[in-house]
């Protein structure tokens, strides 16, 4: 593997810098700075996590036999390579900002025929959501161990909760989501054909269900909260961070 193929792109580093800038703003005494910093930290952090999620898919695919992902730029963490910039990046960020639900965004196109086994195919699908879970756990641990100022602790906890939400959402066995991709290699041909037809719209239907049916949404959020507690998340800080992020409510 060429070293240049896995070096982070300047755009990814810029997103990371914007996230750090948001963190700095949250420690200032101004309420406007804390609000602006929280918004910047959460949106920037979510964009960074989207890159890491897709990189997780790509690096496992590369090691599993699909060497074309390197030529496609998937190993550079450049968000522009993860499909359509509006449908895959802008729309999920808008839905996150106004709906509070981290809808899956980007995607990498994997040549499944090049992968060595069904087990590798499953691991490629699982690598993305597992990166969200690990990031959520790391953010939660940082809040617990470092005890940052209140504004930063709240922003970090809310971003950690969103990562756990993304993990729980993505792991569902629904076409278009990674949970489906993990079991799809072991399905019948007809089931895989159904998944191929449904994958374009099924995640958006899921989002509409979560918005339109509060009882279903509660079950999902309860499951996410349980996982969040298991990784050491602080629900009170996360609630404070969400309130600050959605300051207009």
Exposure of 34 by Cβ count < 10 A (0-12 exposed, 13-18 middle, 19+ buried)?
Answer: buried
The active-site residue, picked from 29, 54, 121, 184, is: 54
Locate 163 and state its tokens: 């990562």
Report the C-alpha gap between 61 and 245 in whole angstroms.
Answer: 35
**Does the annotation count 54 as an active-site position?**
yes
Burial label, 31 (beta-carbon count in 10 A; 0-12, 13-18, 19+)? exposed
CA–CA distance, 247 with 182 (Å, rounded to integer) = 37
Alpha-carbon dihedral angle through residues 114, 118, 122, 123, given to the nearest 10 degrees: -70
Residue carrying the six token digits 């989501």: 177
Q: Encode burial over 121-144: b for 16+ CB neighbours within 10 A, e otherwise.
A: bbbbbbbbbbbbbebbbebbebbe
Query: Which amino acids are annotated catalytic?
Result: 54
């Amino acid at each position: 593997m060429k070293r240049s193929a896995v070096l982070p792109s300047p755009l990814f580093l810029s997103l990371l810098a914007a996230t750090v800038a948001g963190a700095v703003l949250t420690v200032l005494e101004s309420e406007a700075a804390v609000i602006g910093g929280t918004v910047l930290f959460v949106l920037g952090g979510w964009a960074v996590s989207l890159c890491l999620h897709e990189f997780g898919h790509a690096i496992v695919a590369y090691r599993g036999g699909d060497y074309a992902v390197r030529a496609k730029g998937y190993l550079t963490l450049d968000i522009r390579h993860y499909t359509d910039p509006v449908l895959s990046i802008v729309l999920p960020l808008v839905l996150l900002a106004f709906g509070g639900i981290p809808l899956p965004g980007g995607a990498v196109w994997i040549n499944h025929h090049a992968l060595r086994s069904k087990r590798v195919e499953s691991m490629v699908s699982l690598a993305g959501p597992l990166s969200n879970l690990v990031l959520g756990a790391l953010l939660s641990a940082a809040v617990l161990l470092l005890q940052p100022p209140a504004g930063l602790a709240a922003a970090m906890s809310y971003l950690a909760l969103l990562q756990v939400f993304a993990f729980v959402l993505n792991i569902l066995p629904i076409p278009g989501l990674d949970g489906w991709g993990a079991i799809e290699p072991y399905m019948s041909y007809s089931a895989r054909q159904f998944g191929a037809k449904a994958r374009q719209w099924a995640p958006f239907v899921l989002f509409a269900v979560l918005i339109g049916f509060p009882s279903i949404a509660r079950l999902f959020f309860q499951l996410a909260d349980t996982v969040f507690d298991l990784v050491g998340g602080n629900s009170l800080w996360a609630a404070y961070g969400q309130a600050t992020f959605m300051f207009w409510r």
